[in-house]
Amino acid sequence: MCHRSRTPCRGWSRCCMPSRRPHLRLGGPMSHSRSALRLRTPYPILIRAVRGEADQAVVITQDINGLSLSLWNGFTRELRPVDFAQVTYASTTTTDGAYILDLHDPTGSEVGHLHAFPISGGTSTGAARDLTPGRLPYSIRGLDCALNGQTILLTIGDDDGFSAVLTHIDTPEGQRVIFHSPHEAWSGILSADAELAAIETTSHNPGVRRFAVTVVDVNTAEVVATLSDGPLGPVRPVRFAQQPGDQRLLVSTEVSGFARPAVWNPISGERTDVAFTELVGEVVALDWHSATGRLLVAHVNEGIHELYEHDLNSGESVRLMHPAGSFFEPDTGAEYPVIWSSYYAPDGTRRLVRGSWDAPLEILESSGGSEPTVVWASRTVPPATALTSHLITSSDQTQSQLWVGVPADTTARKGTILEVHGGPNLVTVDRYDATAQAWIDDGWVYASLNYRGSVTFGREFREKYWGRVGQGEIEDIAAAVDWLEQHHLAARESLFITGASYGGFLTLMALGTLPDRFAGGLAHVALADWVTAYDQMSPPLQTAWRGFIGSTYADDPQRWRDASPISYVESLRAPVWLNQGEYDTRTPPKQAAAYAQAVKASGGDALLDWFPGGHMPGGLAGMANDYARMQQLTARALQGQRWDSLTIDPTVDPPPSPPT
């Protein structure tokens, strides 16, 4: 399902579209408050390096009316805005900076065709070019551009399965499939000379998302080699060597149960594993400067990041100096395996892309043993609160990470917001979140839970929801509530749970299975009924969720019903708000309406709002409108007032969904 939460890169739609519900304002004194100012202040949500000697990075900003795109030049340190109307979280450029690449998808359904939009003088000009003419619509599951600026490798999912498609900017009619499988395949990348492609595949272990790396000859479409550590050890490609003719590949392995880097030559079969035996937790490969043999890695233990550099030639590893914060953010079910990440400049200088709860993303540089210096930072946002990290223990002794932020005036707390991220294979890292900070600004305790299923805590923790979707995660939520109450940071009558996508699903599940723990639930683009949703999902998602739930509906319908929040509506005690996109193919409209109808039929309190977009809209105006709605709803709940009286019948039929 995957959802990048509600802020930074975690907002809701490919294009910012206004909500269908009446526009709400942060009115009265609040319009001049810190939270109101915060939700009017643009900030960067991702910085994505564009490989090649041009030394550029794409910077995508959460702007007032949507997302905006700029190009940062590593030589001049200048940020150049690009006038492009349909910026999404996946927008990138070709390696020569001549074109913007993105899915042409006006509704936000995440189904369409990849297009190239020419750039000239900081403006996207000329006619967009369809890079896969004649193909049926598809979802993108990997996107890479060769160093020549022309060759594009596209990993897609559609009704026929999963394919790696090679196309060219100037001659897209010559597109061809170089790999195809009925089983999940993701994140294809090209070698420096574009002679080889490395693709994440599951053909060796169908139905189980533990990838192998399949390397394909781009010219013949023949498989050159496959790297697998067996059914329990996923392997994923990170980056090819940067020198043409050097076909070595940096990969991430999990033989130990935790991520470790390795370098593999698919031609010779030679493999070098870097064990980091002295480190507990994950060691995530971020980048490789192959000319000097250095690896940039992030050690993640209990959710906290530390950077190391490993020299493949000497075998030595060095802990790097840097301020506290996060230095990458993983993604899943999207065009790239990371949302943003630290990286090497072409000359080997380390570029540390750093996030923290109290400041937006910035770029620092370092080399050798020097301390990093800031070379680019965004405009100043209102003062923000740093969150603290805590370990909590569930009833089955599973430990999870909980981020907690407390307002400065502890005598005027309004209540507590517990957020659960989307995914589930995502993670909340130490990074600026405007909505989280707005809650704290306005007197709320804010907590964010990395429940089982989150990444960077090891394979066992990441896969603990397999076959029992919505069970262990609820145990973690209950443990988070216990911890907050024990530390006098929450009380049932003023505790609200919220989340988007899978986080929205968990919000609804928690309200139904822990009915006496919450004062209300705020669910964005939530999955409420797996059975109804399945037929409206895109084919790649159908494949993934058959694996996660552990069966088809025909084989085990009870398992699907047990995992559906709609099965627990009669237990609801608290009001629930659903904020749903009309063109969403991840959490389709029909199932959201069915849930609202079921709540109403059981006598519960449900409010369903629609917005004309897909799964992940962007834009501060939309965020501010949603925040105002949530402020309105929480205030009513604290006063004992119903939510469903705020609008017309929340069970109106949704608009028809677009074809998947």
User: Which of 361, 380, 399 represents a domain boundary (last residue)?
Assistant: 380
Backbone Cα Rg of the chain:
23
Tell me which of 278 and 589 has the higher pLDDT.
278
Query: Alpha-carbon distance 103 to 101, whole Å?
Result: 7
What single-letter amino acid sits at 99? Answer: Y
Give pLDDT, residue 646: 87
Inform me whether the pLDDT recorded for 620 exceeds 80.
Answer: yes
User: Are 230 and 314 part of one and the same domain?
Assistant: no
Is there a domain that residue 414 lies in?
Answer: yes
Is there a domain that residue 588 lies in?
Answer: yes
Six token digits for residue 446: 């804010």
Give pLDDT, residue 374: 97
| Among the listed residues 23, 139, 131, the one whose alpha carbon sits nearest the alpha carbon of residue 616 | 139
Q: Read off the pLDDT of residues 431-481 as tens digits, 9 standing for 90 and up.
A: 999 999 999 999 999 999 999 999 999 999 999 988 888 899 999 999 999
Band (pLDDT 50/70/90 cuts) for residue 552 is confident
Give pLDDT, residue 359: 96
Band (pLDDT 50/70/90 cuts) for residue 651 is very low
User: Which of 130, 160, 193 represents a domain boundary (last residue)?
Assistant: 130
Q: Read off the pLDDT of residues 235-284 as tens digits, 9 standing for 90 and up.
A: 999 999 999 999 999 999 999 999 999 999 999 999 999 999 999 999 99
Q: Read off the pLDDT of residues 71-109 as tens digits, 9 standing for 90 and up.
A: 999 999 999 999 998 898 899 999 999 999 999 877 677
Query: Alpha-carbon distance 429 to 43, whole Å?
Result: 17
Q: Rounded to 5 degrees, what are φ and ψ at 590?
A: -60, -40
Length of the chain: 660
Give pLDDT, residue 117: 93
Report yes or no: 138 and 539 within 8 Å, Cβ to Cβ. no
User: Are 521 and 598 part of one and the same domain?
Assistant: yes
Pairing verdict, β 415-420 and 399-405: unpaired
Mean pLDDT of 519-542: 85
User: Are 527 and 639 part of one and the same domain?
Assistant: yes
Six token digits for residue 258: 């935790």
Query: Alpha-carbon distance 478 to 500, whole Å?
Result: 18
Query: Alpha-carbon distance 293 to 291, whole Å?
Result: 6
Report yes or no: 268 and 261 within 8 Å, Cβ to Cβ. no
Give pLDDT, residue 24: 52
Angle in degrees, 0-180, between the axes of helices 502-513 and 472-486, rounded to the nearest 10: 70
Inform me whether the pLDDT recorded for 17 exceeds 60.
Answer: no
User: Are 124 and 140 part of one and the same domain?
Assistant: no
Is there a domain that residue 78 lies in?
Answer: yes
User: Are 523 and 568 part of one and the same domain?
Assistant: yes
User: Are 143 and 62 part of one and the same domain?
Assistant: no
What single-letter amino acid sits at 114? Answer: L
Six token digits for residue 302: 């209990």
Mean pLDDT of 630-639: 97
User: Are 516 and 412 part of one and the same domain?
Assistant: yes
User: Which of 105, 130, 155 represents a domain boundary (last residue)?
Assistant: 130
Distance, C-alpha 653 to centroid of its chain? 29
Neighbouring-strand partners of residue 576: 521, 606
User: Are 371 and 437 part of one and the same domain?
Assistant: no
Mean pLDDT of 25-47: 79
Q: What is the DSSP string of 38-98?
A: HTTS-EEEEEEEE-STT-EEEEEEEETTEEEEEEEETTT--EEEEB-TT--TT-EE-TTSS
Band (pLDDT 50/70/90 cuts) for residue 1 is low
Is there a domain that residue 5 lies in?
Answer: no
Give pLDDT, residue 122: 67
The arrangement of strands across the sheet holding 212-217 comes to 185-190, 196-201, 212-217, 223-227
Mean pLDDT of 560-574: 94
Whole-number Cα distances in Å, 550 to 434, 547, 557: 37, 5, 11
Name the DSSP class of 230: -
Computed over every residue of the chain, the mean pLDDT equals 90
Residue written as token pair 């965004």: 378
Q: Read off the pLDDT of residues 311-348 as tens digits, 9 standing for 90 and up.
A: 999 999 999 999 999 999 999 768 899 999 999 999 99
Report yes or no: 476 and 400 within 8 Å, Cβ to Cβ. yes
Give pLDDT, residue 444: 98
Tell me which of 629 and 412 has the higher pLDDT.
629
Is there a domain that residue 657 lies in?
Answer: no
The arrangement of strands across the sheet holding 260-264 comes to 236-240, 249-253, 260-264, 271-273
Tell me which of 141 and 614 has the higher pLDDT.
141
- Per the structure, how many domains does the chain have? 4
Q: What percent of the chain has pLDDT over 70?
A: 91
Is there a domain that residue 236 lies in?
Answer: yes
User: Are 82 and 160 part of one and the same domain?
Assistant: no
Is there a domain that residue 234 lies in?
Answer: yes
Is there a domain that residue 47 lies in?
Answer: yes
Inform me whether the pLDDT recorded for 660 exceeds 70.
Answer: no
Range of the domain at 604: 388-646
Q: How crowded is residue 647: how many other Cβ atoms within 10 Å of its Cβ?
A: 13
Give pLDDT, residue 648: 46
Band (pLDDT 50/70/90 cuts) for residue 411 is confident
User: Are 283 and 340 part of one and the same domain?
Assistant: yes
User: Are 233 and 140 part of one and the same domain?
Assistant: yes
Give pLDDT, residue 653: 42
CATH code: domain of residue 504: 3.40.50.1820
Band (pLDDT 50/70/90 cuts) for residue 542 is confident
Six token digits for residue 175: 């597109």
Q: What percent of the chain has pLDDT over 90?
A: 75
Q: Looking at 16-25, 50-59, 219-228, 355-364, which range is the least confident one?
A: 16-25
User: Are 102 and 230 part of one and the same domain?
Assistant: no
